Amino acid sequence: MSRRFSTEKGMDVPNIEVDSENVEYTEEHITAKYLYTKNQVKVEENTVKVTPGFHKYTFQTERKVGKTGVMLIGLGGNNGSTITAAILANKHNVCWNGRTGKLEPNYFGSLTQASTIRLGSTNDGEEIHVPFNSLLPMAHPNDFVVGGWDINGANLADATDRAAVLDYDLRQKLRPELEKITPMPSIYYPDFIAANQADRADNVLSTGSKQKDLEKIRSDIKEFKSKHDLDTVVVLWTANTERFTDVEPGLNMTADEILNSVKENKDEVSPSNIFAIASILEGCPYINGSPQNTLVPGVIELSEKHNVFIGGDDFKSGQTKMKSVLMDFLVSAGIKVEAIASYNHLGNNDGKNLDAPAQFRSKEISKSNVVDDMVAMNSILYKEGEHPDHVVVIKYIPTVGDSKRALDEYTSRIFMNGMNTIVMHNTCEDSLLATPLIIDLVCMTELMTRIKYKTSDSPDWQSFKPVLSVLSYMLKAPLVPKGTPVVNALMKQQRCATNILMACIGLNPDHDMLLEHKTNLPGTVSREEL
């Protein structure tokens, strides 16, 4: 049995209060003392020695959620137009007629808006699950101010019709509002996206230099923030996939190098590099929602110098999300996956752009690396250097539009060298899986700007590291701070995000042991008695 709470804005969202001497509530902040346990492991010949470690943290979360702006690069694309329309539909509760009758807007598919967290259970055994966004004060997408850039100048009503993701009746009802929104001119360097995109590029900057492009994007961000009186602006790339840019000394290995390369108008400075640098210099978090290597070492160093959050790479929505679940399950069950073949075809503009080899290569890399950490965790199945054969194919078929088709085949070795093959077919509206991730990335990033911490060793308040690995759940190729292991297993990524929020209100992670139902539960003891 579990009590049910609504996740809709203003509708029975519970007020979470932790009754503990380690948690303090004021009008401005929630301050929580948290004991983080981490096992320290040493391997000595054939002996593994484990020493439990305990680390004291104090987290402080600012309770006031500021006015949040979202600036999308690719505002007029399938994702940009869909999320803008969806926010308007949810904000104004615009219902429409579909083939099954009257339909209502929702935020399904969003971790922050449509999932719950188990807090514990009552003395009667009733399990209490609360909305994810009720643990800490969190921005709501209905309150987002959305704007951005696009290389195509169509207003958002025409862009939404062109994308044909949402039902016709809904698009018609939203048309008067969407017609008011027009993307700002964007950066267009033809070498970085497929040649087949040239006919869309009618809304581009013509400054003549990459330095001037950078200054113009910075000016756009400043003006947007000032015009709408915003406290926080998150800039997010949801435009076409670029080819990989070269990474080499003298070009982009340091912050000074990448800034100098912009000034010198070097060919290997990409549009996404410019947007990332502009965002960082304006103090605005930047999220890379496509697979290209925007966040080169110099951009990362720049974010560290300015203490501005960045996150990437590439939205993890359909096929790759399933892969990170199924591989985790199979390897954890002691089943050796030996081959993965992933085939996709889609007909939206993303598919058209990916039809070019250089852009496909960027996507192939982000999709292929998703199984690495799961293979590495089981040395019984995989000897050093072993890895499943892994092939990814993407084909452009205009007829299917945004309705992406994905076919995956997993071939595994099982007990006594038997073979097992699992085949999975997935049909989905590509943009309806990706757009909720934009909401989550913005909500989580905005929240991180309001969280500070200190430790027993570092008594001054500080922010999380600029590379926001807490966003990994939403991203195919998660960017992590240097020296940090990459985690692709989906449930580990979700637990990471959930447990960090729990720590910020002084609660331990939910361990699922349920000892109270398996043993005679002893009385509660204080932390000092442990």
- Token couple for 148: 């951005």
Amino acid symbol at 24: E
**Are 77 and 162 in contact, with CB atoms under 8 Å apart?**
no
Q: How far apart are the first and last CA of the chain?
A: 31
Residue 479: which of 283, 139, 237, 214 has the closest Cα? 237
Residue 240: which of 350, 315, 159, 76 has the closest Cα? 350
173, 266, 363, 367: the active-site residue: 363
314, 402, 408, 440: the active-site residue: 314
Residues composing the chain? 530
**Are 291 and 477 in contact, with CB atoms under 8 Å apart?**
yes
For residue 346, the cross-strand partners are: 396
- What beta strand segments (E) does 178-319 contain? 184-185, 232-237, 286-288, 310-312
Tell me if residue 95 falls in helix, strand or coil.
Answer: coil
Radius of gyration of the chain (CA): 24
φ and ψ of 525, to 5 deg: -120, 160
- What is the layout of strands, in order, in the sheet containing 29-44? 23-25, 29-44, 47-62, 451-455
The position carrying tokens 């089981």 is: 378
Strands 2-3 and 184-185: unpaired
Would residue 476 show up in a list of annotated catalytic residues for this protein? yes
Any residues with CB less than 8 A from the CB of 337 and at least 6 apart, and which? 327, 330, 331, 371, 388, 410, 411, 412
| Distance from C-alpha of 235 to C-alpha of 147, rounded to nearest angstrom | 10
225, 352, 404, 408: the active-site residue: 404
Would residue 404 show up in a list of annotated catalytic residues for this protein? yes
CA atoms within 13 A on the CB side of 325: 11
Any residues with CB less than 8 A from the CB of 501 and at least 6 apart, and which? 117, 132, 135, 136
Catalytic (active-site) positions:
314, 363, 404, 476
